Structure 1
Amino acid sequence: MKQIIRKNKTLIIAIIGYIALFLYNTELGLKALNESKYYFVEMIKILPAVFVLTSLIQTWVPTEVIMKNFGNKSGIKGKALSFAIGSLSAGPIYAAFPVCRTLIDKGASVENIIIILSSWAVVKVPMLINEAKFMGVKYMCIRWIFTIIAIFLMAQIMKLWIKESEIKEKEVLNFDMVVVNEDICIGCGSCARKFPEIYKMKNGKAIVIDNITEKVSKEEIEKSKKSCPVHAIS
């Protein structure tokens, strides 16, 4: 029960807030509910595509590729790619968060994630034409230049304050994320010996220990997957 509450605390707080608002002022409560309905419908249209994209990144893009192009050692190339992804993107900013979370889990640096999110939110190359039309070309150019400077400066500052581990530590792992394919497993016991807190042997096959979510980190799980000589862990 505590785990369910912890996973859904934001939703629970929102529900309590709506109830309190309805009790205080029914008209305001209805107005808030209608606004929420609008954004909910908008999210339903966008998020399925975002989830497909994050799943493809998680499944098909190797960690080494992410680390090489967006990791701490990616240098200027990583910053340029991050800025290009954010500034050329379409859709609301909340669509960027699942994508960026997947990237950081695969080895992207906090600095490059900040660049992606910030440029996604305020640069928007597809919107520059509209900005120039309504605000003028001079305004658009000056705003764009100073915005880019601010984005890279902010990324440098936040890199010093926030570490990847601080973000990953907040993740609650799902037991279903770790699966041993019994048809492939040869029962060598390598995973159980090296990672006894995650796996154990049963009937000559490796199985995942129940309730491992609060005992191990995602890094340990990723290492344990690589320990299998026949790649039976996924």
Structure 2
Amino acid sequence: MKLVEKIKKNRLLSVVIVVYLLLFITIPDKAIVAISNSIYYVLEMIMIMPVIFILTSLTEAWVPKEVIINSFGEKSGFKGNVFAFLLGSFSAGPIYAAFPVCKMLMEKGASIANIAIVLSAWAVIKVPMLANEAKFLGTRFMAIRWVLTTISIIIMAYLISKFVNKEDIPEVEGRIKEGISINKDYCIGCGMCAKICPNVFYMEDKKAKARSEALTGLVADKINEAIQACPAKAIS
């Protein structure tokens, strides 16, 4: 039973292992090449990811939450789109290095649309890549491709923000199930959360408080609504 549970929790890894086993049985030469390439990328990740985690941790500790909200949050508007685009364009490293950065930004209040822009720009519009593209394919090709790609990124980010909510993301959903945290330093005492979900939130000394409740069903939906409505983004 424990083995089955581990397989369910690591479905992608299980599929990869099965594929490698099938390759070794049917095409051993290709399997050896595949293993060699995988080892190369794993070693690359081992060298890059510790640096990314350190930088992400330092940013999370030193950059105030309100700065992230103002720069990348739901109400940052076009300014937030530009900042997200620039962050993705001037970042270094492979695309998988962007995921811990984007996770940190989202936890501190960045919007879904701006996260999509960061990831997309990081993947296809990095400045060093543009320089090489202009060198080998020509400036005109690079410029037209850049304009069309940028338009596509903005459209895609808008669509993703319409179809994906933060509560749909497993990490966010998991935190809601574990419990509610209210940052007293960020709370401005507006009482919005208590109005939306009075079963869980209440006001005390002009600050929001949370009761210990089973965070399921309709209550969980109301909690998500309160989290999104909080102007100070003090609830997590």
For residue 169 of structure 1, report the CA deviation from its aligned partner.
5.5
Alpha-carbon distance change, 33 to 25 in structure 1, aligned in 2, over 3 angstroms: same
**Aligned residue for 2:211?**
194
Greater mean deviation of Cα atoms: 164-173 or 14-23: 164-173
Instruction: Give the match's secondary structure for 1:138.
Output: helix
Instruction: Check conservation: 1:51, 1:98, Cα contact below 8 A.
Output: yes
- Where in structure 2 are there 5+ consecutive unaligned residues? 176-209, 228-236
Match of 2:65 among 63, 74, 77: 63
**Aligned residue for 2:94?**
92
Cα distance in 2, alignment partners of residues 81 and 88 from structure 1 = 11
Cα distance in 2, alignment partners of residues 13 and 57 from structure 1 = 35
For residue 92 of structure 1, report the CA deviation from its aligned partner.
0.8
For residue 116 of structure 1, report the CA deviation from its aligned partner.
0.4
Greater mean deviation of Cα atoms: 61-70 or 25-34: 61-70
What is the total number of aligned residue pairs between the two structures?
Answer: 189
Cα distance in 2, alignment partners of residues 6 and 135 from structure 1 = 45
Alpha-carbon distance change, 22 to 171 in structure 1, aligned in 2, over 3 angstroms: farther
**Aligned residue for 1:138?**
140
Instruction: Check conservation: 2:167, 2:173, Cα contact below 8 A.
Output: no
Structure-2-length-normalised TM-score: 0.69
Structure-1-length-normalised TM-score: 0.70
**Aligned residue for 2:11?**
9
Q: Which letter maps to 1:36?
A: S
Instruction: Check conservation: 1:105, 1:168, Cα contact below 8 A.
Output: no
For residue 6 of structure 1, report the CA deviation from its aligned partner.
4.2
**Aligned residue for 1:201?**
none
Instruction: Check conservation: 1:87, 1:125, Cα contact below 8 A.
Output: yes
Identity in percent: 47
CA-atom RMSD in angstroms? 3.1
Q: Which letter maps to 1:34?
A: S
Matches for 1:15-164 after TM superposition, within 5 Å: 15-164=17-166
Deviations 1:57-92 (A, max 9, x none): 333333332222111111111111100100011111
Cα distance in 2, alignment partners of residues 58 and 105 from structure 1 = 9
Instruction: Check conservation: 2:116, 2:157, Cα contact below 8 A.
Output: yes
Alpha-carbon distance change, 71 to 38 in structure 1, aligned in 2, over 3 angstroms: same
**Aligned residue for 1:209?**
none
Cα distance in 2, alignment partners of residues 58 and 26 from structure 1 = 46
